Structure 1
Amino acid sequence: MPAYAQRKSTPAVTTDNKKPLAVIPFQLIDKHVVIPVMLSGGTDTLHFIFDSGSEVTILHTKTAEKLHLKAPGQAYMSGTNNAVIKAPVATINALYLKELRLPYVNANLEDLSDIGPIDGIIGVALLKSYIVKIDYRQQQLLLYRAGKTPIGNTGRLLHFQLNFTTPVIDASIQLPDGRKLPGHYHITTGGDYGILFNWPYVDKNKLNTLLTTINTDRVQDMVKVLYYINSSIPLLELGGHSLRDVPVSYSKDIDDLGVFTEVAGAIGYDIWKQFTLTINYDKKELYLE
């Protein structure tokens, strides 16, 4: 007689996100969130900027030389005003954040000497692997298992969209003449500014004629020297919060294209430092506490 067997169903595994997988202390260096990192083959603790707006991982060329890390390939990168340049690319066998391991991370090799004592930059590679909570008050980065957003968030839930791989949030600004302008803004935790406007948005809304210049900056980019004009706006409305006297900047060479919609600019450290952020990249959720 034939015999029939039935495999027992495996109970669904529930993700317990009550506790973080790792709590990583960070330093604030020139408005950048800098976290300790170790790479496979190295024994020294390195210092990486965590920037949610960084679509690629970057390793300082001098650090790569110390680690004898070779770059067998090249990749195309968007530079100033979407100019495309080639950059050497190396594969890091493993990147360690305390006890957590990110395997096979591709890193573009660039000279980061102008930033300061920094070995690299990491953004989306970390966001895709974990749920990331940035606690500016305690200066801690808390990493949770990807999945459901951890319970206990008391802040406002905002849903974001992706522009290529960079999170984009909706916000509204008030101009000196009283007008309010809605817009879509990149979430850039590594941006050393309040708001950095894209030039087409500035030109379209005549912001360069409405905003009073406070000072200017001259900054060397990957491709050329950029000239920034710094000003302020009376009000930024974001996720139910109203922030006054917000520092803003713009340059004729800054234009981050939107894949589906117009991107007004990027929101950086001077705004985010006032909150605790929880970013769930997979679920496209941002909590502001």
Structure 2
Amino acid sequence: MINKHVVIPVLLSGSTDTLRFVFDTGAEVTVLDKRIAEKMRINSGHQAFMSGTNNAMVKTQVVTLNALYLKELRIPYVNAYLENLDHLGEVDGVIGVALLKLYIVKIDYHQQKLVLYRNGKTPIGNTGRTLHFQLNYTTPVVDAAISMPDGRTLPGHYHITTGGDYGILFNWPYVDSNRINSLPTINTDRVQDMVRVLYYINATIPALQLGGQTIPNVPVSYCKDINDVGVFTQIAGSIGYEIWKQFTLTINYERKELYLE
């Protein structure tokens, strides 16, 4: 764990240096730090757009990695977007869907292990619960509900974002329509995004109901510039590390199943 991120050791073809990649279920593309690409002289590729906040598009270079290795696991021909990742600290890249779609992935926060199974039936125990999720483009989306201090219970659709260093990050339209900005402010954060500086307001809600579990005193954040558009419905926001760290997650991307222990 580095700064609340699940970080896994990665090797790239043509190099013996071990790199550190954040594993994020909300990452729709694989990202490689520009300085690593320059060091390895990976500079042939093409220009493409990737979305920033509020769906702002940023033009960046995309390269094809001949192979990406996780121990003995080899993932061939991975397209990687080149970006400056200084804001993530000691991290060289981000990988998400490229890994999720190939295997059933188990994240054990307590043991700090990432376990990969062949696709097929979800391997589950007897102490957890299976939730079915939808895909918003390529990001898993699960149903949950929040409790507000005024007694309201608000249902919503949330991205499963293991790489998010927050409890819940709300989308602004959901904040606006449900008066979530009426929550008492605890503090604010100034964060540099790909496109601009963002200002986050941090608060707390009494509870989150997810998969038959009630998680009390959940930290939440929102920003007027945050709005992940939903392809099928309104997305309330993203559920991040502060929630997922309390569980062991098994994600079967192929069958759209999330198992919580």
Which residue, out of 47, 69, 75, partners 1:96? 69
**Structure 2 residue runs without a partner (length 5+):** none
**Structure 1 residue runs without a partner (length 5+):** 1-27
Query: Quick check: 1:199–1:252 contact (8 Å CA) kept in 2?
Result: yes
1:216 aligns to 2:194 (yes or no): no
Q: Which amino acid aligns with 2:228?
A: D
Task: Report deviation, 1:153.
Answer: 5.6
TM-score w.r.t. the length of structure 1 is 0.89
CA distance in 2, matches of 1:68, 1:235: 49
1:199 aligns to 2:199 (yes or no): no
1:247 aligns to 2:236 (yes or no): no
Which residue, out of 195, 199, 214, partners 1:227? 199
Q: Alpha-carbon deviations, 1:12-39, whole Å to 9, x = none?
A: xxxxxxxxxxxxxxxx111000000000
Which residue, out of 264, 270, 282, partners 2:242? 270
Query: Quick check: 2:124–2:259 contact (8 Å CA) kept in 1?
Result: no
Counterpart position of 1:148: 121
**Matched residues, percent identical?**
72
TM-score w.r.t. the length of structure 2 is 0.99
Task: Report deviation, 1:75.
Answer: 1.4
Counterpart position of 2:155: 182
Task: Report deviation, 1:76.
Answer: 1.3
Counterpart position of 1:54: 27
CA distance in 2, matches of 1:175, 1:188: 22
Q: Which amino acid aligns with 2:231?
A: V
SS of the aligned residue for 1:184 comes to strand
- Quick one: structure 1 residues 284 and 217, their matched pair in 2 at CA, closer, same or farther if it must change by over 3 Å? same
RMSD (Å), alpha carbons: 0.8
Task: Report deviation, 1:125.
Answer: 0.5
Q: Which runs of 4+ in 1 moved over 6 A?
A: none
Query: Quick check: 1:217–1:228 contact (8 Å CA) kept in 2?
Result: yes
CA distance in 2, matches of 1:233, 1:72: 45
Question: What pairs with 1:57-136 in structure 2 (closer than 5 Å)?
Answer: 57-136=30-109
SS of the aligned residue for 2:174 comes to helix
CA distance in 2, matches of 1:218, 1:92: 34
Task: Report deviation, 1:219.
Answer: 0.3
Task: Report deviation, 1:151.
Answer: 4.3
CA distance in 2, matches of 1:203, 1:87: 32
CA distance in 1, matches of 2:202, 2:41: 41
1:42 aligns to 2:15 (yes or no): yes
Counterpart position of 1:260: 232
Q: Alpha-carbon deviations, 1:114-141, whole Å to 9, x = none?
A: 1101100000100001100000000000
SS of the aligned residue for 1:32 comes to coil
- Quick one: structure 1 residues 153 and 71, their matched pair in 2 at CA, closer, same or farther if it must change by over 3 Å? farther
- Quick one: structure 1 residues 153 and 203, their matched pair in 2 at CA, closer, same or farther if it must change by over 3 Å? same
